[in-house]
Structure 1
Amino acid sequence: SAALRGQLFSSIIWEIPTDAPKDKLSAQAFRTQLLDIGAITTEEASSIEYDDGVIRGRIRNVPFQARHPQAMTPVTGPVIVHIDVGYFSPLYKGEIKTKLYPLLYKTLDKLRQQAAQVLTATISYSNQSSNLPLSTRFIGPDLATIFQQPNLLDKELPRLWRQRSHTLYLPNFFQAKEVNKLLLDMDISDPGQPSIKYALYQAHITRKQGDVALDYLAQAVALDSGYALEYLALSSLARDNDLPEKSLEMLQLAAETFPDDPFIKTQIISELQKSDQIDPARKILEQLQGLNWSETFYPNWPAKLEELKNHLTQQE
C-alpha cells in the first residue's frame, strides 16, 4: 500500500489462478473479495469493471488489471514480479491429477516467454497470512532457485526435486515406508534442507513418535524460522486435549523464535493465568504495555491489555 501511495508503480497486473473459462470471472465477486480483506476502499471498489477476461480498476490511484490466464498479454517495460505461493493452491489438484513440479515449470516458463525486463522478483510463502500448510513451504525456495537459474526450465528435474515429487505421489498408494526411506536419503544428501527435516517431523508424528518428531522440527526451525509456526499449531492441539503444560511449552518455543511477536506473548499470558502463575504473566504483560501500539492497526490493544491486567489483579 505504501509503495502504491508513493507512486513507485505505474500499474499493477495480476494473473488470476483459475482453470475456469474466462467468462466466469465476476467483477462483483472480485470487488467483494477485496473489500472483505480491506485491500480497497468503497470508492476504489466502484472503479472495478470487467471486460473480456480482464477486471480493471484503480488502487491508490494506480491502475490495475486482474487478468484471466487466457487474457494475459506480454508486459512491456521494466517490471517487478511477485509470486504468492497461494497462487498455485486452486490449480494444484494433487499429485495424481496435476503434478506439482510440471505446474511450477509451466508457470515460470510462460513468464520467461514474455521476455519482460524483470528488475527483481519477490516470493511470498503465505504460511501465515494465507494459511497455506507448512508442508508447502519448500515451494518458495524452489521457485527462487528457478529464478536464479532459469536454465533449469530446459533440463530434467534435479535429483532432490524428483525425490520430493515421489514423496508427494507415493502417499496416494499408502507407501509410507517408502516415503520415509526417500526422506532419509534426501536428508543425508542435503542435510541443510529445512523442508526435508519438516517432512521427517510429519512422518514421525504420524507414527506417534513425538520426541523424534520434535527433534526434527527443531532442526527445521534452526534452518528456517518460519517452521516455528508449527509450535503454535501444536500448542493449540495440546490446549484442545487439556494439556496446559505442553501448550505453554510449545508457545515458549515459538516465542524463542519470534521474540518480537506480541501476540504469542498474549497467548503465553493466557496459559500462565490458567495455571495461576500470576507473577510471570504480569511481567510479560508489563512488557507488552510498554510497547508503542499503532493507533491505525491496533487501536483497541492498549485497552485489551489494561483489561487483562485487571483480570490478573483480581485473580491474585
Structure 2
Amino acid sequence: MSRWLTEPVPRGRVAAFRTLVYLFIVGDLLIFTPWVRSRVDVSGDLYQPLFVGRVLPLPTPTPALVNVIFWALLLLALLAATGRAPRLLGWTVFALYLEWMIVAMSYGKVDHDRFALLVALAVLPTAGRARHGDQTRSEAGGWALRVTQIAVICTYFLAAWAKFRFGGLDWAIGSVLAKAIIRRGTELADLIAQVPHLLLVAQFGILAFELLSPLVFVLPDRWRLATVGFFYSFHLVTIATITISFAPHLVAMASFLPLEKIRPLVALRGLLARRSGHGRPGAAAPAATPADGRPEEVPAGQPPGGP
C-alpha cells in the first residue's frame, strides 16, 4: 500500500499541477466566487459556521477581514504558481483559501466540488521543489498527487452514498434530473428531456458511474486515462445541460494526467524560468535528464553536456 501511495512521478508533473492549481485559485477569486466579498454585508446572525469553523474557532467574518483574505490570497497564489517557496507559500495559500471557503459555505449552501481542490492545496506543499520539464521522479510528489486522486474519487463515491442515504432508491426512479432541467436547463437539456425514459436511464447511469469510480485505480495506465477522459466528458455534458461546472473538481482531477507532456504547460516552463531569472542570457541551462528519470552518466574528464 505504501508503495502505491508513494509511486514516483516526474517532478515536472508536480510543477505543472501546482501551477494549474494556484492559477485556478486566482481565477476562482475573480470569476467563480467574488460574491463572497458581498455576502458578509448581511447580518452576522446569518453566519452559521461549518464544523471546522466552530472547532478552530474562527471569527465571524467582517468586510475588512474578507477583503484582507481576498487580496492576500490573490497575490500569494500568483507567487505560488511560479514554484517559489513551495512550502511557505503553499501552506499560507491553503490556510487562506480554507478560510475563504468556510466563509463562502457558512451561509446555507455547501458545494462538494471544492473537496478535492482543498486536499490538493493541503498536500502540494509536502511535494517540495519541482521545476517544469524535470523528468526526475519524486515519491513525495507521487504521494501528493495520489492523495489528490483519492479525494477526487471519494467525491464521486460519497456522492452516491449520500444519494442512497437521503433519497434511497427514489433518487434513481424519481424526477431529480427533470427538476434540475426545469430549474436551470439549457436548450440541449430540453431536447434530451423529450426522449422517453432517457432521464431515468441517466439517473441509474450516474449512480453506477459514481459507485464504480474507485475501479479507476486498478485499471492499466491506458484505460485509466480513457476513464478519466470519460469523467471529464460527463462534466462537459453536465455543463451543457444543467449548467453546473464543477470547475474546482475538474482542476483537482488533472492529478491523473501526465501534465508534463501537455505543450501549453511545457511552454509555460520557459515563461516561468524567465520570470524567476533562469532564462537570462548567460544563465546556465539545466542539465538534460533522460526520459527514465535517471541522471545522465558523464565520462571522466568530460564536462556535462558533451564536448
Q: TM-score, normalised to structure 2's length?
A: 0.29
Greater strand content: 1
Bigger relative CO (Cα 8 Å, ≥ 6 apart): 2
Q: TM-score, normalised to structure 1's length?
A: 0.28
> Which is higher, the Rg of structure 1 or of structure 2?
1
